[in-house]
Amino acid sequence: MDYATIGAVGFSLSLVLLLLRVPIGFTLVAVGTGCTLVAYSWRQGMGFDLGRGINPTLGLIEAHGYEFVHSYSLSMIPLFILAGHVAYHARITTDIYHAVRVWLARLPGGLAIASLIGCAGFSAITGSSLACASSMGRICVPEMLKYGYSPKLATASVAAGGTLGSLIPPSVLFIMYGLFTETSISKLFLAGIGPGILSLLGFIVTVMVWTWLRPEIAPRAAESFGRADRMQALGRAWPAVALVALVVGGIYTGVFTATEAAAVSMVFVILFGFLSRRLSAAAFLASVKDTAIQSAALFFIAVGAKIFVSFVSLTGVTQVLVDMVAHAGMSDWMVLGCIVALYLVMGMFLDPLGTILLTLPFVVPLVESMGLDLIWFGVIVVKLLEIGLITPPVGLNVFVISSVTGPEVKVHAIFAGVSRFLIMEIVVLVLLLTFPAISLLIPNGVF
């Protein structure tokens, strides 16, 4: 059988399994292993012989699996995850929200804006959108509902703010993208800063316009805070500010690699937690346990993706795809538009990690053939995945917030509120596509 045909069948089968809600790790391992076995057993010009394919398939799985798991760069994932869990238990992330809340108490929509900034601060520590939405949802949504905020605004602002975990460094998606495209993870982290801030500003503008048009959805808080209260709240937020400055500053100045920054952030939050007596031994052990579970799941998915990438490379289907595009006479912008459309559609139905690992083996060769910057393209991909987190019918962040609020707020109401933020997301996406400098100024050392 033709190798390219096997590759196309494997990709289609993967999509079907993911749409049937088969876990991404099992899908990638099963399809990658099965199709590799078929490719080795059914070589061109020869009949099918299963025995001929077993040994090379097992050798490929063993070599790539062992090599990838022992990757130095992959070790930053559990380090950042542990730092995020410990920061949550030590109330570092909570202090960010409360500090901003005190400063913006009298501003129309101030609690919603504080929630967005709190999500950005949480994202700068954890690197996970779902963790950000879940944790900040428990803190922010009840607070806004207590002060009479519209359920649509309260839930949608946190669902949208949670997506910043994908873009603001550290980001698990950037780590995976860097590992599979062999681009600098440190540069990807730095490239996400500008778009992350732009997205945050866009969300804040959305809240301000929404509350200006409909002031009844965000009553101004009756309580007032004096200068002493604001300075005290700001002082309590210093660990989060110091941690972000330490990680981003260290990477930007070249003092740390991304992996070393992960280790530094982990040590910082653990020391702060115990020295401030905010972190108990039980909470620390719970953080370690949760980190082990999440890291094991991510490592299994990563190994499956590596096997899948090896299968795609073996079949040569990506070169066939590149040749088809070249012969079609499509302009670079047309090809890029098709890629954007692909991610937007897949984001409606699949989780971000599954989408990025399934598509990278096919789209990256196309982007390289057009001579586009892979760091910039990484930002575009992560931004598209971020949009997918709040896009119906399977916007994962929306369902995370729904699980936090319970039956009090219906899912369709959250989606209705999120639609306003989706409009701003598209605006930001167009800006990032049109002006690559927004993503590349910081990693290129302009600032």
Per the domain annotation, does 331 fall within a domain?
no
What whole-number distance in Å separates Cα of residue 309 and Cα of residue 357? Answer: 9
- The predicted pLDDT at position 201 comes to 94
41 and 179 part of one domain: no
Cα-trace Rg, the chain: 23
The answer to the question of residue 335 being in a domain is no
Buried b (16+ CB within 10 A) or exposed e, 83-112: bbbbbbbbbbbbbbbbbbbbbbbebbbbbb
Please, is 123 exposed, middle or buried when counting C-beta atoms within 10 Å of its C-beta (0-12, 13-18, 19+)?
buried
- Judge whether 343 lies within some domain: no
Q: What is the pLDDT of residue 169?
A: 83
Are 317 and 308 contacting, i.e. CB atoms less than 8 angstroms apart?
Answer: no
Both structure tokens of 171: 């980001």
Residue with tokens 């982007």: 367
What type of residue is 106?
R
Phi, psi dihedrals of residue 444, rounded to the nearest 5°: -85, 5
pLDDT of residue 426: 93
> Distance between CA atoms of 132 and 137, rounded to whole angstroms?
8
Tell me: do 225 and 167 sit in the same domain.
yes
For residues 111 and 193, state if they share a domain: yes
Tens of pLDDT, residue by residue over 235-259, are 777 888 888 788 878 887 888 888 8
Does residue 361 form part of some domain? no
> How many Å is the maximal CA-CA distance in the chain?
82
Beta strands in 51-110 (DSSP E): none
Report pTM: 0.85
pLDDT digits (tens, 9 = 90+) for 288-329: 998 898 888 888 888 888 888 877 777 777 777 777 777 777
pLDDT tens digits, the chain, 447 residues: what are they?
Answer: 577 777 788 888 888 888 787 888 888 888 888 888 887 777 666 666 676 778 877 877 777 677 777 777 778 888 888 888 888 888 887 787 778 777 776 777 888 888 898 888 878 777 777 777 887 888 888 888 888 888 899 899 999 988 888 888 888 889 889 988 889 888 999 999 999 999 999 999 999 999 999 988 888 766 667 777 778 877 777 888 888 788 878 887 888 888 888 888 889 989 999 998 888 999 999 999 988 988 888 888 888 888 888 777 777 777 777 777 777 777 888 888 888 888 888 887 777 888 888 888 888 888 888 888 999 999 999 999 889 888 887 788 888 888 877 777 788 888 888 999 999 999 999 999 999 999 999 888 655
Q: Are 105 and 138 in contact (CB under 8 A)?
A: no
Note whether 82 and 221 are same-domain residues. Answer: yes
My answer on whether 231 and 311 are in the same domain is no
**Phi, psi for 46 (deg, rounded to 5):** -130, 155
Q: Are residues 305 and 423 in the same domain?
A: no
Which pLDDT belongs to residue 46? 64
CA–CA distance, 369 with 319 (Å, rounded to integer): 10
E-only strand ranges, 143-206: none
What Å distances lie between residue 433 and 115, 178, 246, 427, CA to CA?
Answer: 28, 20, 30, 10
Whether 219 and 267 map to the same domain: the answer is yes
122 vs 131: CA distance, rounded Å: 9
Sign of the torsion angle spanned by Cα atoms 48, 9, 381, 247: negative
Cα atoms in the Cβ-side hemisphere of radius 13 Å centred on 167: 34
Q: Is the dihedral of CA 74, 356, 361, 41 positive or negative?
A: positive
Residue 118 CA to residue 203 CA, distance in Å, equals 13
Quick one: 238 and 307 in the same domain?
A: no
- By CB neighbour count within 10 A (0-12 exposed, 13-18 middle, 19+ buried), where does 167 fall? buried
For residue 94, being part of any structural domain is answered with yes
Give yes or no: residues 51 and 87 share one domain. no
Same domain? 167 vs 116: yes
How many domains does the structure of the chain reveal?
Answer: 2
pLDDT score recorded for residue 285: 93
- Give the pLDDT confidence score for residue 373 in this predicted structure: 92
Domain span at 215: 76-279+382-440
pLDDT of residue 432: 95
CA–CA–CA angle 135, 140, 143 (5° rounding): 140
Q: Both 131 and 35 in a single domain?
A: no
Residue 254 sits in the same domain as residue 304: no
Torsional sign, CA 297, 303, 309, 311: negative
- Cis previous bond, 215, omega within 30: no
Peptide bond into 170 cis (omega under 30): yes
